Chains A and B, each alone.
Chain A
Amino acid sequence: MSRIKNIFQDLRKQRQKAFIPFITAGDSGLDNTFELMQVLVENGADVIELGVPFSDPMADGPVIAKSHERAVADGVSLHDVLTLVERFRKTNDTTAIVLMGYLNPIEVFGYQAFADVASESGVDGVLVVDMPPEEAYDLKQNLDNVGIDFIFLVAPTTTDERLAFLATIASGFIYFISLKGVTGAGHLDVNLVNASLVRIRQYIDLPVGVGFGIKDSATARVVAKNVNAVIVGSSLVAFVEKYSTDKDKMLASVGALANEISNAIK
């Protein structure tokens, strides 16, 4: 059984929600990312989403877009991110790792090679922002063959017809985008989230995580009630930027926010 499936099943038994923090791999250096991952685990992360740096992060707001730019400027590649996961797996066999990024680095790496190396490195799930299910058939085969979950986004605007289609291809969990906009945009609308959840659950029998627009523990607590996981990215990445030259403060700030949100939803 996949690590992601296990995590959600265990949490469900304990009537708890999963906490899924996002950070961009290699932003402020791969060693710092490695330490940040440890800090996130210590502070309640069940799944870690690692952003794979890309030169043109179209769906991201300014905070995460800039983190991509910094990592790309440092030459951080998909290969580096996979090596980072391999290093993380040497000491951690429980926290699930999801790579979140854009298609082109995977396209250039090659689908088959990517699936093989990702699986060997210990990656559990892959979310390709600019690959909707309609274009995902080939990569889906490659990921299925190595048992990596293929995670998809669902937006408030996703139609019932497409939800039914997504149900045939998605695995792991559903990443529900809580608002119309980019990552880190204004506050989400809880009513809109709940209305969409009803629709999603009609079609898809997977845990649902909600992200985009969750900035603090108060929002996280409210939104967590009806979902299986809460995903937080921009607020954590903002600390990586702010304390890029002061590692201790970076680790402490990220840890403190992760701890606060994790406690709020568990």
Chain B
Amino acid sequence: MSNYNLPDDKGHFEQYGGVFIAETLMTAVTELKDAYAKFKDDEDFIREFEQDLKHYVGRETPLYHAQNLSKKLGGAQIYLKREDLNHTGAHKINNTIGQALLAKRMGKTRIIAETGAGQHGVATATVAARLGLECVVYMGEVDVARQALNVFRMKLLGATVIPVTSGSKTLKDSLNEAMRDWVTNIDDTFYIIGTVAGPHPYPMMVRDFQSIIGKEAKAQFAVQVGGLPDALVACVGGGSNAIGLFHAFIDDASVEIYGVEAAGYGLEKGPTAHAAPLCAGNVGVLHGNRTYLMEDENGQIIEGHSISAGLDYPGVGPEHAYLKDSGRAKYVAITDKEALEAFHTLTKVEGILPALESSHAVAYGIKLAKELDKDKHIIINLSGRGDKDIHTIAQIEDIEF
């Protein structure tokens, strides 16, 4: 039985979420809301989504008992939800499959997306290629330069990548630019947002598509161990992989929930040094919803920092803001340095290269495991694989290929 049923029909998670967009977008967003309401319980839609997740994405993903790591730490048992084993290498595709199937049913022929590190862009270009839809991806000029491999992947998949030169030339600006495209082309265009942010219904819809992660993990844990895990750990940028894991467990009060934000150079170094709005930000409105933001005293958005491009977003999904205030989830932060250490530890001990985003969750999971007894169980969401980050890591560690 589930008691938790947010958001309400206006998209509010108490004071968070909502629909804060220009009038020019209202009709498109309402159309999307109505279409999603119509198809989310439609048997054909659900069947096609599930079939695609199974045969195209490769679900279900394993829940892997990291015995070596657990033994090395001497504390709680660590289980990894292996979203890195999905097609295209991260959880992002769970959502793009769902939204693209919706786009097709709505008769849209053109897909747009924003991307930071390029993972969501690749996942979008992938489904667009498969469904024969035109695909345009907005990506900050700075990100285009530092993620050349993903830019090339998107181009191979037939997408047009448009470098964004406005503002700080990163993820938040590519979201602005995608919104501008959408208002101009609302008749034939579907905007696939990559995280649980944006105006309602996006935070709810993306969560629903990602919630397969937690549903699987819950069932797998019950079979492998029995009962419920003691804690969940996932990294939070916009927060889609985290909400995907958490959602199935929200009503299970015995399960502790930890979201891990990027502390960058350290929270104490101020807002330009990290990307942790839940841990050190304030409430505001950006990109269509009310949530915690990195902002200055005048309400201008601050571009933070993280070693991981996927966590480097000044906002966070409104449901996380609600879960923080309600106390149901705890939000913590891990520095660049701690994430890098965790990256190396997991790679050496378990032979799994985690994405730098996921390395933040691994780092906190390691801290937490050490504090708990051996008979406790932690599930860490390994949201993506680390191949895409090898250049970043090599650069930091002065390694030349």
**Are B298 and A78 in contact, CB atoms less than 8 angstroms apart?**
yes
A102 to B176, CA, bound (A): 13
CB closest chain-B residue, reference A185:
B184
With beta carbons under 8 angstroms apart, the residue of A79, A108, A129, A132 that contacts B19 is A132
Contact with B along A101-136 (1 / 0, CB 8 A): 011111111000000000000000000011110110
A185 to B27, CA, bound (A): 19
A105 to B286, CA, bound (A): 10
**Are B300 and A105 in contact, CB atoms less than 8 angstroms apart?**
yes
A164 within 8 A of partner (CB): no
Rounded to whole Å, the gap between the CB of B275 and the closest CB of chain A is: 15
- Contact residues in B for A106 (Cβ distance below 8 Å): 299
A152 within 8 A of partner (CB): yes
- Contact residues in B for A29 (Cβ distance below 8 Å): none
Stretch at the interface among A56-64, A140-148, A228-236, A242-250: A56-64
B73 within 8 A of partner (CB): no
**Are A177 and B23 in contact, CB atoms less than 8 angstroms apart?**
yes
**Are A103 and B300 in contact, CB atoms less than 8 angstroms apart?**
no
- Contact residues in A for B368 (Cβ distance below 8 Å): none
**Are A132 and B21 in contact, CB atoms less than 8 angstroms apart?**
yes
CB closest chain-A residue, reference B26:
A132
Q: Which of B24, B172, B285 is the most central at the interface, judged by chain A CB atoms within 10 Å of its CB?
A: B24
A135 touching B20 in the complex, CB below 8 Å, given contacts A108-B284, A182-B184: yes
CB closest chain-A residue, reference B297:
A108
**Are A155 and B282 in contact, CB atoms less than 8 angstroms apart?**
no
B288 within 8 A of partner (CB): yes
Rounded to whole Å, the gap between the CB of A98 and the closest CB of chain B is: 16
> What number of B residues sit within 8 Å (CB to CB) of A?
39
Q: Which of A66, A107, A152, A162 is the most central at the interface, judged by chain B CB atoms within 10 Å of its CB?
A: A107
B89 within 8 A of partner (CB): no
A180 touching B24 in the complex, CB below 8 Å, given contacts A65-B166, A108-B295, A130-B285: yes
**Are B299 and A162 in contact, CB atoms less than 8 angstroms apart?**
no
B301 within 8 A of partner (CB): yes
A182 to B24, CA, bound (A): 9
Interface size grouping (class) on chain A: 35 or more
- What's the A-B contact tally at a CB cutoff of 8 Å? 121
- Contact residues in A for B26 (Cβ distance below 8 Å): 132, 155, 157-158, 162
Contact with B along A42-63 (1 / 0, CB 8 A): 0000000000011111111110
A140 to B28, CA, bound (A): 25
Rounded to whole Å, the gap between the CB of A25 and the closest CB of chain B is: 13
A59 touching B22 in the complex, CB below 8 Å, given contacts A69-B167, A106-B299: yes
A77 touching B298 in the complex, CB below 8 Å, given contacts A107-B284, A130-B285, A180-B24: yes
A7 within 8 A of partner (CB): no
**Are A152 and B20 in contact, CB atoms less than 8 angstroms apart?**
no
- Contact residues in A for B284 (Cβ distance below 8 Å): 104, 107-108
- Contact residues in B for A131 (Cβ distance below 8 Å): 20
**Are B186 and A157 in contact, CB atoms less than 8 angstroms apart?**
yes
A159 within 8 A of partner (CB): yes
- Contact residues in B for A158 (Cβ distance below 8 Å): 23, 26-27
- Contact residues in A for B290 (Cβ distance below 8 Å): 107
A69 touching B183 in the complex, CB below 8 Å, given contacts A104-B284, A181-B24: no
A185 to B183, CA, bound (A): 11
CB closest chain-B residue, reference A68:
B167
A220 within 8 A of partner (CB): no
Rounded to whole Å, the gap between the CB of B387 and the closest CB of chain A is: 32
Rounded to whole Å, the gap between the CB of A176 and the closest CB of chain B is: 10
**Are A130 and B27 in contact, CB atoms less than 8 angstroms apart?**
no
**Are A58 and B176 in contact, CB atoms less than 8 angstroms apart?**
yes
A177 to B22, CA, bound (A): 11
A155 touching B23 in the complex, CB below 8 Å, given contacts A61-B180, A65-B166: yes
With beta carbons under 8 angstroms apart, the residue of B10, B27, B187, B285 that contacts A155 is B27
A104 to B277, CA, bound (A): 15
Contact with A along B150-193 (1 / 0, CB 8 A): 00000000000000001100001100100110011111000000
**Are A58 and B24 in contact, CB atoms less than 8 angstroms apart?**
no
**Are A153 and B23 in contact, CB atoms less than 8 angstroms apart?**
yes
Rounded to whole Å, the gap between the CB of B106 and the closest CB of chain A is: 15
A154 within 8 A of partner (CB): yes
- Contact residues in A for B180 (Cβ distance below 8 Å): 58-61, 181-182
**Are B22 and A108 in contact, CB atoms less than 8 angstroms apart?**
no
A55 touching B184 in the complex, CB below 8 Å, given contacts A130-B288, A135-B18: no
B328 within 8 A of partner (CB): no
CB closest chain-B residue, reference A158:
B23
**Are A180 and B186 in contact, CB atoms less than 8 angstroms apart?**
yes
B104 within 8 A of partner (CB): no
Rounded to whole Å, the gap between the CB of A67 and the closest CB of chain B is: 12
A132 touching B20 in the complex, CB below 8 Å, given contacts A58-B176, A104-B284, A105-B299: yes
Q: Interface on A for B, CB 8 Å cutoff?
A: 53-62, 65-66, 69, 72, 77-79, 102-109, 129-132, 134-135, 152-155, 157-159, 162, 177, 180-182, 185
Known: A62-B166, A104-B300, A135-B19. 14 other contacts (CB 8 A): A60-B180, A104-B299, A107-B290, A108-B299, A130-B21, A130-B288, A132-B22, A132-B23, A155-B23, A155-B26, A158-B23, A177-B24, A181-B184, A182-B24
For this complex, 15 residue pairs linking A to B, each with C-beta atoms less than 8 Å apart, are: A56-B301, A60-B180, A66-B166, A77-B300, A104-B293, A104-B300, A134-B19, A135-B19, A152-B23, A153-B24, A157-B26, A157-B28, A158-B27, A159-B27, A162-B26
**Which 8 residue pairs of A and B lie closest in terms of their CB atoms, listed nearest first?**
A108-B299, A105-B299, A153-B23, A77-B298, A157-B27, A59-B22, A181-B184, A104-B299
